[in-house]
Structures are given as structure tokens and as C-alpha cells.
């Protein structure tokens, strides 16, 4: 049973980690767009 939960948890850990990296890229890009708009 622990292997089952480990597999399901690992799946969502991988997806959430990827989503966090996408979100961080988005935040960085948003700052760059704001800086460009100020100029």
C-alpha cells in the first residue's frame, strides 16, 4: 500500500514542481514587462 501512495504522491510532486517553475518564470517575465513599460 505504501508503494501505491508513494507513486501517486511522486506523480503530483513532479507535476507541482514543474508548475512552480512555470509560475516562477511567469513572475520574472511579468517584472521584465513592467520594467519595459516604465521605460
Partner 1 sequence: MKKAFPILGLLTAVLLSYALYEALVVAPQEQTMGDVQRIFYYHVPSAWTAFLLFAINFLASVLYLVRRNPQTDRIANWVVMALAVLTCTGGYVFRSALPKDVYPSSVATTGIAIAGLYFLIRKYFSEQGTDILALTTAEVGVVFCTVVLVTGPLWARPVWGIWWTWDLRLTSTLVLWLIYVSYLVLRRFSSSGETPVLAAALAVFGALDVPLVYFSIWFFRTQHPQPVIGGGGSIDPRMLHVLLINWLAFLCFAFLVCWSRYRLERIQRDVEETQALEALLEPGGQVR
Distance from the Cα of residue 12 to its chain's centroid: 12
Cα(28)–Cα(35) distance, integer angstroms: 11
22 binds partner 1 (CB under 8 A): yes
20 binds partner 1 (CB under 8 A): no
19 binds partner 1 (CB under 8 A): yes
27 binds partner 1 (CB under 8 A): no
SS3 1: coil
Distance from the Cα of residue 26 to its chain's centroid: 9
**Residues binding partner 1 (CB under 8 A):** 1, 3-4, 6-8, 10-11, 14-15, 18-19, 22, 25-26, 29, 32-33, 36, 39
Amino acid at each position: 500500500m505504501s508503494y501505491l501512495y508513494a507513486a501517486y504522491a511522486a506523480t503530483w510532486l513532479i507535476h507541482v514542481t514543474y508548475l512552480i517553475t512555470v509560475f516562477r518564470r511567469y513572475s520574472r517575465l511579468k517584472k521584465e514587462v513592467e520594467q519595459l513599460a516604465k521605460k
